[in-house]
Amino acid sequence: MTLGLFALFDGCEKQPEYNWVKRITDYKPEVKQYWELEYDNRGRLTKLGNTPICYDGDEVKVGSLEWNSRNEKLSYATYRKMDDGIYTCLSECFVNEDSTSRNMLKETTFCSSGDTIHVLAYYKDVENGQVLKEVSSKYVYDDRRRLTDVMNCYLDAQGNETWACHSYYTYDSNIVYDANLDLSALVVDCDALDVSLYFLLGLGGNESFALPNYIRHCVNHGVATYQGEGLYRMTGDLLNKLEVVSDDLKLKARYEFEYYPSSE
């Protein structure tokens, strides 16, 4: 990272600040995966590991990204901000269904309304554009910009509900952190990669810098539930380690974060 620092900031004097995330390591997969992060002179994320992120007016283009612990792969994603403030995203991704991986086109719309971000996604056949499934989601925030609810509904090509999940987040310990990225995006385990990146990049303008104590998932209207506990290691206001462990002691997420050193 230090070798490319001056090129990264286009010769400007501005240096990365101490709370800018330099590296994210995912310890959940069998072989740990890590990403070095790079930024432009406006502090915008331009590289996540080997994945380039480019900004062109109202467009943000993301290159190929493979996330091992999620067993997901994104070939590309292009976010476009419309005149009414709504973001759309066109991407190509590999979707895992019935133990098989299938390449699909995905069209996603992000709309912010009051305390809620509405996300609507259509998965389409790459060859003929036929809709294969639809996912609608709601992300609800409280008056302190903390994510409290995530509701997902999955429909098949005929419009029949195939799966649903409602996630609840509580913040009893008032854990907050200082960072340039919304790291709470990594806590939501039901997101697809393009949705996680939307929040990680702060495109919705609703960044949350609070972390939940407990996460409760209610699947298929109560057929199955689990509760997860958020465990964090902090150095001052910096978040160094994030873990989510379910009540049956299954690891749901484990990340570590490194930051640029203070320029002082």
Q: Give the burial string for 219-255 (b: 16+ CB within 10 Å, else e).
A: beeeeeeeebebebeeeeebbeebbbeeeeeeebbbb
CA distances from 148 to 36, 168, 184 (A): 30, 6, 12
CB 119 within 8 A of CB 137: yes
Q: State the pLDDT at residue 74.
A: 94
* CA angle, residues 43, 72, 153, in degrees to nearest 5: 95
Chunked into runs of 10 residues, the chain (264 residues) has average pLDDT values of: 39 67 95 95 93 96 93 94 91 80 93 92 93 94 92 93 92 92 81 90 82 90 83 94 91 94 65
Q: What is the pLDDT of residue 99?
A: 67
Three-state SS annotation for 66-80: EEHHHCEEEEEEEEE
First-last CA distance in the chain = 19
Provide the pLDDT for residue 188. 74
Q: What is the pLDDT of residue 264?
A: 46
The string of pLDDT tens digits covering residues 109-136 is 999 988 899 999 999 999 899 999 999 9
Instruction: Please name which of 101, 95, 23, 93 lies closest in space to residue 65, comparing C-alpha atoms.
Output: 93
Q: If we measure between CA atoms, which residue out of 110, 172, 124, 118 comes closest to residue 149?
A: 118
- pLDDT in the model for residue 44: 92
